[in-house]
Amino acid sequence: MNEKQLQYIWQQKLFDSSALFTTDGEQVEIIDVGLLNTDSGADMFNAKIRIGETLWAGDIEIHLRSSDWNKHHHDKNPAYNSVILHVVMECDCDVYSENGEKIPQLILPISPKMVEEISLVSLSSRRIECEKEIKSLTPLSKKMWLDALLVERLQRKKEEIDALLLQNNNDWSQTFYWLLARSFGFGKNSEAFFLLSKSLPLKYLQKHKNNLFQLEAMLFGQSGLLAETVVTDDYVITLKKEYLFLSQKFQLKPIDAHLWKMLRLRPTNFPYVRLAQFAKLIFQSSHLFSKILETKEIASLRQLFKVEVSTYWQTHYVFGKESKYSPKNLSDSSIDILLINVVVPMLFVYGKHYNNVEFCERALSFLEKIKPENNAIISHFSALNFEINSAFDSQAVIQLKKQYCDRKDCLRCRFAYEIFSTKKKYEEK
Q: 208 with 297, same domain?
A: yes
Instruction: Please give the DSSP secondary-structure letter assigned to residue 64.
Output: S
- Same-domain pairing of 204 and 329: yes
Looking at the structure, tell me whether residues 87 and 213 fall in a common domain. no
For 307, half-sphere exposure in the C-beta direction (CA atoms, 13 angstrom radius) is 23
Q: Are strands 35-36 and 44-51 parallel, antiparallel or unpaired?
A: antiparallel
Name the 3-class secondary structure at 31. Answer: strand
As a whole number, mean pLDDT of residues 50-77 equals 94
Q: Which residues of 168-201 are buried (b: 16+ CB within 10 A; e: fewer)?
A: beebbebbbbbbbbbbbbbeebeebbbbbbbebb
Last residue of a domain, one of 287, 309, 337: 337
Per-residue pLDDT, 329: 94
Q: Does residue 125 carry a pLDDT above 50?
A: no
Read off the pTM: 0.72
pLDDT at 121 over 60: no
**283 with 216: CB under 8 angstroms?**
no
Do residue 292 and residue 189 come from a single domain? yes
Mean pLDDT to the nearest integer, 224-244: 96
Whether residues 198 and 106 fall in one domain: no
Does residue 247 lie within any of the structural domains? yes
Q: Are residues 106 and 15 in the same domain?
A: yes
As a whole number, mean pLDDT of residues 209-213 equals: 96
Mean pLDDT of 100-116: 88
CA distance 400 to 144: 13
319: closest CA among 235, 417, 379?
Answer: 235
Question: What are residue 36's DSSP bridge partners?
Answer: 44
pLDDT given at position 123: 44
Same domain, 197 and 62: no
List the one residue out of 290, 293, 287 whose CA is nearest residue 348. Answer: 293
Taking all residues of the chain, what is their mean pLDDT, rounded to a whole number? 91
Q: Which of 249-258 are b and which e, b meaning 16 or more Cβ less than 10 Å from the residue's Cβ?
A: ebebebbeee
Q: Tell me what percent of the residues of the chain surpass a pLDDT of 90.
A: 75
Query: Which among 308, 337, 366 is the end of a domain?
Result: 337
What proportion of the chain, given as a percentage, has pLDDT over 70? Answer: 95
Q: Which of the two residues, 425 and 33, has the higher pLDDT score?
A: 33
- Domain-ending residue, one of 337, 353, 384: 337
For residues 135 and 291, what is the distance between their CA atoms, to the nearest angstrom?
43
Residue 403 maps to a domain = no
Task: Report the C-alpha dihedral over residues 33, 39, 42, 43, rounded to 10 degrees.
Answer: 40
Q: 29 has which bridge partners?
A: 50
Instruction: Note whether residue 209 is domain-resident.
Output: yes
Tally of domains in the chain: 2
Q: What is the pLDDT of residues 276-323, one digit of tens each?
A: 999 999 999 989 999 999 999 999 999 999 999 999 999 999 999 999
DSSP states of 132-169: TTGGGS-HHHHHHHHHHHHHHHHHHHHHHHHHHHHHTT
In angstroms, rounded to a whole number, what is the distance separating the alpha carbons of residues 381 and 134?
A: 10
Note whether residue 122 is domain-resident.
no
Q: Which of 415, 404, 409, 380 is nearest to 394 (CA)?
A: 380
> Are 197 and 290 found together in one domain?
yes
One domain for residues 96 and 197: no
Claim to verify: residue 13 and residue 85 sit in the same structural domain: yes
* Phi then psi dihedrals of residue 186, to 5 deg: 45, 50
* Residues 241 and 106 occupy one common structural domain: no
Which pLDDT tens digit goes with each residue over 129-186? Answer: 677 788 778 888 899 999 999 999 999 999 999 999 999 999 999 999 999 999 999 9
Please tell me whether residues 244 and 98 are part of one structural domain: no
In a domain, 102, yes or no: yes
Which residues form the domain of 288?
174-337
| Residue 140 placed within a domain | no
Whether 283 is in a domain gets the answer: yes
Contacts of 57 (CB under 8 A, 6+ apart): 46, 47, 48, 84
Kindly state whether residue 321 falls inside one of the protein's structural domains: yes
